[in-house]
Amino acid sequence: MTEQSGTGLRDADPIDGGGSRLARNKLGIAGIVFFVVAAAAPLVGMTGAVPIAIVLGNGAGVPGAYLAVGLILLVFSVGYSAMSHQVTNTGAFFAYVGRGLGVVPGVASAFVSLLAYLTIQLAVFGFFGAVMAGHMDAELGIGLAWWVWALIAWALVLGLSALSVDIGAKVLGLLMLLEVLSLAVVAVAVLLHGGGPDGMSLGSSFSPGSVFEGGFAGSAGIALTFAFASYIGFEATAIYGEETRNPKRSVPIATYIAVSLIAVLFAFTSWAVVSGLGSATVRDRVAEASAVDGTPLADPAAVIFGVATEYVGGWMATVMSWLVLSSLFAGLLAFQNSAARYFFSMARAGVLPAVLGRVNGRGAPVYGTAAVAATSLVVILLFRITDRDPVLHMFSWFSALAVLAIVLVEVLVSIAVIAYFRRRPGEGRVWNTLVAPVVAIVGLLLGMYLLVSRFGLLAGTAAEGVDPATRSWGLSALGWFLVALPFIVLAAGTAVGALRRKRNPEAIADLVT
């Protein structure tokens, strides 16, 4: 065993088909960005979250809400990137919190992170299965059930993940570029046309009065909630540090590029949609365009498809309808890789069974990948057996839970950055190691408040007779359980961390400052 300089990790011998070290130098900055932006699935957000945020939230101010959340996460990225210069570990959050706050909080945060990545992938499986079933039936007359399509995607994702991280990155790169290009073409087309009836007004979407219309407890809070939910996955840059060329340079740059790209995509494209429909009447126009049998927002994807048809042509709407499917598949592949690397990291640290910390001959965490796949398979079959809806139940429940869990860990990471550098005066600039993390904590705590207070709207778990758009805290028993689950897992992880620190101190020594 040798100590890799600067990483704090005890590396195994070179890969022999069953080692405990990930393949080196497989990814560059572009590869990391592909994984992260694919996980955010901007086209899916534009077809799903943005129309709901417009109608129930602050209307024309939605683009500004996405930009505001992007700025908060960019500030978070400052401290996150500063930590990446000190620690290179595929556990990312796990290692960062461990280095800053100690091994027990580190292990606890690892379990919450793993919960987040497993549940968001499950959410995407449900959504992919439902959208794929409807689309293939309508376009090609193939009438397979949602769970059949989900299992087909499951097998493909498992195969690609087990091959090598760079193969997955190439697939994601192609899918992501097509997705981003389609959104850019529609947005630029609206801009070149000068917008709709109200023109291209920046003030209607980005002025403070528009962005915060209705306040945090009202419509602005709803828009900001959906904006926070749309950014999940950006923090995965550091997960690939061990497989990256020059991680101390690549991870920070990839983080800033990924967050900036996601923010610009959401803000610019949603601004184009608002402008194309007319900022003054955008709520009514979106409600009308998305209605099915008089029910608004029953088909939110029809909004962006309608704008694409009007300003580019019907062919673009058709292309985008297929790209939604590829976007969802890209998200599945990205989250599979993230969750597998958490299993790998936690096993290598002695927290989970050691077999999960082994890699195959290509340097991929094949046993961690198998663990993620097995979990997904069980849940997909369980939802099929119990006849649960893949969107209303599987997607809504798990996506809301995942976002809350990730924001909770991001708060812990920001606290850990401050603690880590306070013990090392002079090793970082005040802005990077104190001011930015403090600002990020305030913004992220606001995000947690919004997510919890609007959880019934995100997860569809409002108490009977309660309108989740106006009654913030009216949750059913299931809703309260889902809200509490990340904190329950955090507490359980704390207990596991305390136990493992006593029983196996050497395995997790790289997390101790």
For the segment 138-157, what is each residue's pLDDT rounded down to a tens digit?
999 999 999 999 999 999 99
Amino acid making up residue 284: D
Predicted pLDDT of residue 99: 87
In whole angstroms, give the CA distance from residue 512 to residue 102: 6
pLDDT-based confidence at residue 18 (cuts at 50, 70, 90): very low
Predicted pLDDT of residue 6: 33
Predicted pLDDT of residue 164: 57
**Dihedral angle computed from the Cα positions of residues 337, 339, 340 and 341, in that order, rounded to the nearest 10 degrees:** 90
- Average pLDDT value over all residues in the chain: 85
In whole angstroms, give the CA distance from residue 411 to residue 100: 12
Widest CA span in the chain: 68
Integer-rounded Cα radius of gyration of the chain: 22
Average pLDDT over residues 333-350: 85
Which two structure tokens, joined as six digits, stand for 95?
């290692």
Taking residue 453's Cβ as centre, other Cβ atoms within 10 Å add up to: 20
Which two structure tokens, joined as six digits, stand for 389?
């809806």
Asked if the model's pLDDT at residue 512 lies above 60, the reply is: no
pLDDT-based confidence at residue 350 (cuts at 50, 70, 90): confident
Residue 363 is given by DSSP the state: S
Give 159's contacts (C-beta < 8 A, 6+ positions apart). Answer: none
Q: Count Cα atoms within 13 angstroms, Cβ side, for 153.
A: 31
pLDDT-based confidence at residue 24 (cuts at 50, 70, 90): low
Contact 162, 374 (CB under 8 A): no
Q: Is the pTM of this model over 0.75?
A: yes
Amino acid making up residue 402: A
Nearest to 448 by CA among 502, 490, 386: 490
What is residue 462's three-state secondary structure? strand
Amino acid making up residue 301: A
Predicted pLDDT of residue 509: 57
Which two structure tokens, joined as six digits, stand for 159?
């195969």
What is residue 192's three-state secondary structure? helix
Average pLDDT over residues 438-448: 95
Q: Looking at the DSSP assignment, which residues form a beta bridge with residue 292?
A: 295
In whole angstroms, give the CA distance from residue 231 to residue 266: 10
Among 18-32, 67-81, 262-276, 311-325, the range scoring the smallest mean pLDDT is 18-32
Which two structure tokens, joined as six digits, stand for 109?
């945060």
Task: Quote the percentage of the chain above a pLDDT of 90.
Answer: 50
Tokens 């694919």 sit on residue: 38
In whole angstroms, give the CA distance from residue 453 to residue 510: 38
Contact 367, 162 (CB under 8 A): no
Tokens 């409600």 sit on residue: 287
Predicted pLDDT of residue 35: 73
What is residue 217's three-state secondary structure? coil
How much of the chain is helix, strand and coil, in % rounded to 5?
A: 75, 0, 25
What element of type H or E holds 441? helix 436-453
pLDDT-based confidence at residue 179 (cuts at 50, 70, 90): confident
Asked if the model's pLDDT at residue 435 lies above 80, the reply is: yes
Tokens 């992938």 sit on residue: 121
What domains can be seen in the chain, in order of their start residue? Answer: 24-511 (1.20.1740.10)
In whole angstroms, give the CA distance from residue 125 to residue 131: 10
pLDDT-based confidence at residue 243 (cuts at 50, 70, 90): low
* Helices within 85-207 (DSSP H only): 93-101, 103-140, 146-163, 165-192, 203-206
Asked if the model's pLDDT at residue 2 lies above 60, the reply is: no
Average pLDDT over residues 25-29: 68
Taking residue 108's Cβ as centre, other Cβ atoms within 10 Å add up to: 27
Query: Which has the higher per-residue pLDDT, 340 or 236?
Result: 340
